[in-house]
Amino acid sequence: THFGYKDVPTEEKQAMVADVFHSVAAKYDVMNDLMSFGVHRLWKRFTIDMSGVRPGNKVLDLAGGTGDLTKKFSKIVGPSGKVVLADINSSMLEVGRERLTNEGYVGNIEYVQANAQYLPFEDNTFDIITIAFGLRNVTDKDEALRSMFRVLKPGGRLLVLEFSQTKNPLLKKAYDLYSFTALPFMGKLVTNDSESYKYLAESIRMHPDQETLKGMMQDAGFNRVTYHNMTGGMVALHRGIKV
C-alpha cells in the first residue's frame, strides 16, 4: 500500500507522521477513548504507578501529545517539581496546552516542541521520562533511546508504553480484523480521515516485539530493563534504569 512507509526515505516518513497528527489533533482524545474502549486510561494509570514518581521530581513526557500523562504527573510532582511535555507536532502540542490550561493545570508544566531523536536538554536533567504510544512513530528509534538516556539523571527511569505483539493467535486475529476494518471506519467517521488511521494500524503491526524493544533499550545503555504485558500483550510497558 502507499502507507508502506518502511521503504520511504526518512524525511518522508517524518512528513507523513506529521500529516497524520496535524490531521487528527483536534479529535485525538475522543478517538483514543473510542479505539481502545477507554482502556488506554488504565494503561496510563499503570505507567504512572510504575514510574515511582515523587513530589519534586523532574519529568519528561515525551511525544506527550494532548497531555494525559503530563496531567497526572503535574499533580504528583507538585509546585517544587516540573513536567516537560515535549512533542514534535505543533498541533498536538497546542491542543494539549489549551486543554491542560483550561483544566487548571498550570505552574509546573512546560511545553517544548522537540524531536525525540535530538532532545534539546542538558545531560542528566530528568528523574523520569515517559514515551507513551510515541516511539513507534519515531524514525530512528535507537537514536531516540540514546537521546533519552543522555538527558536522564543517573538513577533515572525510562518508561515506554507502546503497542506490542500478542502471542495469543485468537487475539491477534481479532486485532488484525479490528485494526483494518473498524479502526479506519471510526477514523473516517470521527475525523473524516481514514488514511491516518490506516497508517496507525500499520505502524502498530510493524513495531518491535517485547524482547526486541528490551534489547534496543539495553543497547542504548539502560540497565535492569523489564516489561509488563497488558491486555494479553497487545500493549507492553517497558522500564529501564540509567545506573
Q: Residues comprising the binding site for S-adenosyl-L-methionine?
A: 66, 87, 115-116
Question: Pick from 48, 57, 59, 64: which binds ligand SAM (CB under 6 A)?
Answer: 64
Total count of residues recorded for the chain: 243
Residue 11 or 168 having the CB closest to ligand SAM? 11
Is 207:118 a contact under the CB 8 Å cutoff?
A: no
SS3 22: helix
CA distance 187 to 184: 5
Could you write out the DSSP letters of every residue in 36-51?
HTTTHHHHHHHHHHHH
CA dihedral 33, 37, 41, 44 (to 10 degrees): -100
Q: Pairing between strand 235-241 and 223-230?
A: antiparallel
Name which of 5 and 133 has its Cβ closer to ligand SAM: 133
Q: In the complex with ligand SAM, which residue's Cβ is closer, 20 or 77?
A: 20
| Residues in 69-128 at the binding interface with ligand SAM, rule: CB under 6 A | 87-89, 92, 115-117
Binding residues for ligand SAM, how many (CB under 6 A)? Answer: 19
Instruction: Tell me which residue has cell 535492569.
Output: 224
In whole angstroms, give the CA distance from residue 118 to residue 120: 6
Q: Cell 498536538 appears where?
A: 92
- By beta-carbon proximity to ligand SAM, the closer residue of 182 and 243 is 182
Nearest to 232 by CA among 153, 164, 151, 146: 164
CB of 137 to ligand SAM, least distance (A): 4
Contact stretch for ligand SAM (CB under 6 A) within 64-72, 152-160, 188-196, 227-235: 64-72
Question: How many other C-beta atoms can be found within 10 angstroms of the C-beta atom of residue 32?
Answer: 19
Query: In terms of CB distance, is 89 or 179 closer to ligand SAM?
Result: 89
Give the binding range for ligand SAM (CB under 6 A) out of 57-65, 150-158, 163-171, 186-194.
Answer: 57-65
The distance of closest approach from Cβ of residue 70 to ligand SAM in the complex, given in angstroms and rounded to an integer, is: 9
Residues 123-152 interacting with ligand SAM (rule: CB under 6 A): 132-134, 137-138
Interaction mask 17-36, ligand SAM, x per CB under 6 A: x---x----------x----
First to last CA, the chain: 43
- Least distance CB 243 / ligand SAM (angstroms): 25
Which residues of the shown chain bind ligand SAM in the complex (CB under 6 A)? 17, 21, 32, 63-65, 68, 87-89, 92, 115-117, 132-134, 137-138
